[in-house]
A and B are shown apart, each in its own frame.
Chain A
């Protein structure tokens, strides 16, 4: 049988519809499973005015079941037996007595009759509605005299529940189920009576309601693209906007509108943002990809005049909005023409960066100093003065009228204003790009001035919050420090920037006088970077234990070098030589650990003979080779040097007994193992490696 459930309500916020449909589906499937009612495919979806679900192949009834429950002994006190009878709902003579090794025990046979689908659904529907969890819900109407009144995202107005053509009678939130629903508000304003679950979708379609969100999305995307193409333009694709418009319409009709080309003097990001965020319009581009003064809006009906009035109205609204935007933009341009971007800086002083960390102006000072330092110390190949100036101007646009109105275009507005008054492009670009990368998949800046400011800005934030002992905890990361650290890692990796985090932290401590300070912040911040690196490298298949093994050396604080080292190490430990050497290392480390507890004593002179001498000789070659290779960042060579030890180490453990009765010889052999361990530690702390 086919089952239909429709929950009608006043307009459901677009952003909540998809999750609500999925929740309905999950709750329904779980409830049927718990009730033992078999079913086939279940589809759930939403329009602005309804959540609906259709289940195919619903069984006519649930299967009956039988369950055996063990009770107390027949000789148990009456109280215990009464309790068991109450629990099972049986009488004493219905219980079965059975011989067991523990004497005669009572058993109950519980038989559950199968129930009809209709009965089960009548129970399940009200339960789903009562338990439903909306991101925000409300009370309404006469029932809201009680604060315990039913809650829904907006007033719930009707329930349709049909099993094939039969009504499933139930009640929830004061509403009795029926077969009546509503079609499109304008095209089909009357009551629509649904014949059966099988005809629901087509009956709605006839009433100008496209129940499938996927179909509405498809219509919006294809029709909008056709309209654009018809005007010789192309649609700037925006899946989020397609979904949002599909959540605002039951009968979507895209329409093409235009605006005055004079508005193109406003930065295109601002225009696109106004259209997208405020009006939910699609932006259009010409063949060269440049923004054109046109848009596509999505109406919710086939208007009697073909959409002329709707298009005209939307054009007027956009025009008023763009007038506002142009007013702000021109005001900002006038400000910088009179006094440069510097004209904004006094106001930056009034913005609080964080109550414990001072104003944004304080931050700008620190970032400027850091950016300059990065260039002066050859970390970033940019002119220190240019980097410093870019850092000084990078936050100026935050107090501009345009960014005040459109916060999302921070940086971009600063860049346009800078270019508008002839600031060097490298600085202008750095103003825009220093926020990048804003997340996974975002562009990573590579121009040197941008890199200097981007790194300085992020590192300043990280260091400040760690110094003030406000690192992220668990799921709480209110200042997005994880993203900042990941951003730093991406920038240094993609530009091959060589930066000693320790040196930088030391410099920062010198220039920054934070009154509050967590003494242990430096190692905590290094650990934080290590953790971020592990997360970031997980996808690339880099092992987290190897990152730990290199970080644990304590000397490696250059992320680029660290990663090169980790990768060489990974290649090595996955070879046969590597696996064996690791086993040898662990054996040596264990022996040393036990021996070092009691003291090793004075070693005998000489190098011994056989495998012992062989290992000593191998170490004498491998140790300096590995050390030099590490110093020259030839990590694969360093690994090869270690690999050369594999044979001698294996032979040593096969042929030589470390715990010789002569304490001098024992000490000499232990010292040899210690040299081996140290040689390995020159590359990585193998004790952190798993396996």
Chain B
């Protein structure tokens, strides 16, 4: 077998593949988000009748998953590769399998399986049907046909593919720790690039973040979001909703939101997203 792709080569290969299939290759959203789905290129663009095909890498932050760089499988900051195709094309599964071929997974030797997994995001008020994609028993992608986003029926339905890049790379490269991944072919590892980041942000997420200020920020961005919706500016308003979501995740990691309050906070973020989406859909008519 030829030398496995480095982390960055794998990203380039995916971009090349989906770019060739007609996707706009976007760059990451410049805000902290929990997953690639939050990018307006997915959330807002999955609403409304326009055709839309895009792919992008999205740095994703899940403050509670930080392990100070000590766990070989968990990160508070990681990368997703996101593909959104609207309307969902015929044989999307075939297209997806082609992307696995493109990053060097030999499907005559590996077992790729589609296991039922219905996706739901309480924060985005969204759901869809699809699968977890398993490669030799490991989940390497999420595959979803969006049915509803922010309480709106998707018409047409978009197909969403999310690749967990670090997992996929660990699999392709056969390494046991994220930090040992070859980032490029010139000897730089994932640890060289990100270990310090994980250590410092774990400390920030769990210990240092000023919760009083975070609560205040949550309130401020919520107010700002509503004010912008009132001005008929759904895109800037959506930025504020995304910030609210991340602030909630940080507060949650700091352990200052009780179990009972959690649902209420998720509901507040969902309401913001819903208000933005209503405005966006209305303007799109």
Contact = CB atoms under 8 A, between A and B. Distances in A.
B107 to A, nearest CB: 5
Contacts of A305: 109
Interface stretch (A11-19, A214-222, A575-583, A603-611): A11-19
A317 B108 contact: no
A297 B115 CA distance: 14
Interface string A102-121: 00000000000000000000
Max count, chain B CB within 10 A of own CB: residue among A136, A186, A300: A186
B254 to A, nearest CB: 18
A249 B113 CA distance: 8
Contacts of A297: 137
B83 to A, nearest CB: 16
Interface stretch (B30-38, B128-136, B223-231, B243-251): B128-136
Contacts of B118: 136
Given A305-B109, A310-B111, A318 B137 contact: yes
A141 B89 contact: yes
Contacts of A14: 115-116
Interface in B119-145: 128-131, 135-138, 145
A433 B112 CA distance: 40
A146 B155 CA distance: 6
Interface string A291-323: 000000101110111000110111011101001
A341 B114 CA distance: 41
B259 interface: yes
A317 B136 contact: yes
Contact of A313 (B110, B115, B154): B110
B87 A145 contact: yes
Interface in A335-394: 350
Nearest to B49: A145
A537 interface: no
Contacts of A249: 113
Contacts of A153: 129
B14 interface: no
B154 A138 contact: no
Contact of B90 (A141, A144, A248): A141
A303 B138 contact: no
Contacts of A299: 111
B129 A154 contact: yes
Contacts of A231: none
B107 A186 contact: yes
Interface residues of B, number: 41
A143 B87 CA distance: 9
A313 B135 contact: yes
A70 interface: no
Interface in B53-84: 73
A304 B153 contact: no
B164 interface: no
B3 to A, nearest CB: 16
Contact of B109 (A15, A140, A309): A309
A495 to B, nearest CB: 38
Contact of A140 (B49, B88, B131): B88
Given A144-B154, A313-B138, A314-B137, A138 B87 contact: no
Given A10-B114, A185-B97, A310-B109, A138 B259 contact: no
Given A144-B154, A144-B155, A303-B109, A313 B137 contact: yes
A10 B156 contact: no
B51 to A, nearest CB: 9
A140 B157 contact: yes
B71 to A, nearest CB: 8
B109 A157 contact: no
A350 B258 CA distance: 10
A126 interface: no
A142 B91 CA distance: 12
B110 A140 contact: no
Contacts of B107: 185-186
B93 interface: yes
A49 B225 CA distance: 45
B147 interface: yes
Contacts of A317: 136-138
Most buried by A among B89, B137, B155, B171: B137
Contact of B108 (A10, A138, A303, A314): A303
A312 B176 CA distance: 12
B166 to A, nearest CB: 13
Interface string A252-289: 00000000000000000000000000010100000000
Contacts of A139: 145, 147, 156-157
Most buried by B among A138, A303, A304, A320: A138
Contact of A310 (B87, B89, B136, B176): B136
A407 interface: no
Give the most central of B92, B93, B156: most A CB within 10 Å: B156
A601 interface: no
Nearest to B136: A313
A11 B115 CA distance: 8
A155 interface: yes
A190 to B, nearest CB: 12
A248 B110 CA distance: 15
Nearest to A318: B137
Interface string B167-189: 00001000010000000000000
B154 to A, nearest CB: 7
A144 B156 contact: yes
A510 to B, nearest CB: 32
B73 A145 contact: no
A323 B70 CA distance: 13
A248 B107 CA distance: 16
Nearest to A139: B157
Nearest to A302: B108
Contacts of B137: 279, 281, 297, 313-314, 317-318
Contacts of B112: 185
A320 B108 contact: no
A185 B176 CA distance: 30
B116 A309 contact: no
Contact of B136 (A140, A141, A145, A314): A314
A501 B204 CA distance: 58
Nearest to A257: B137
B116 A300 contact: no
Nearest to B116: A13
A309 B4 CA distance: 14
Contacts of B147: 138-139
Contacts of A155: 88, 90, 92, 145
A136 B117 CA distance: 12
Contacts of B106: 304, 309
Contacts of A279: 137
Contact of A138 (B89, B90, B91, B157): B157
Nearest to B138: A317
Contacts of B111: 299-301, 303, 310, 313
A142 B49 CA distance: 10
B129 A142 contact: no
Contact of B113 (A145, A300, A320): A300
Given A139-B147, A310-B136, 18 more contacts: A10-B92, A14-B116, A139-B145, A140-B145, A141-B89, A141-B157, A154-B129, A155-B90, A155-B145, A157-B91, A185-B107, A297-B137, A301-B111, A303-B109, A304-B108, A313-B135, A313-B138, A350-B259
Interface of A: 10-11, 13-15, 48, 136, 138-147, 153-155, 157, 185-186, 248-249, 279, 281, 297, 299-301, 303-305, 309-310, 312-314, 316-318, 320, 323-324, 350
28 contacts: A11-B93, A11-B131, A14-B115, A15-B116, A136-B129, A138-B147, A138-B157, A139-B157, A140-B87, A141-B87, A141-B88, A141-B90, A142-B87, A144-B87, A144-B157, A145-B49, A248-B115, A297-B137, A303-B111, A309-B106, A309-B109, A310-B110, A310-B111, A310-B136, A312-B136, A313-B111, A313-B138, A320-B73
Give 3 closest A-B pairs by Cβ, nearest first: A313-B136, A13-B116, A11-B114
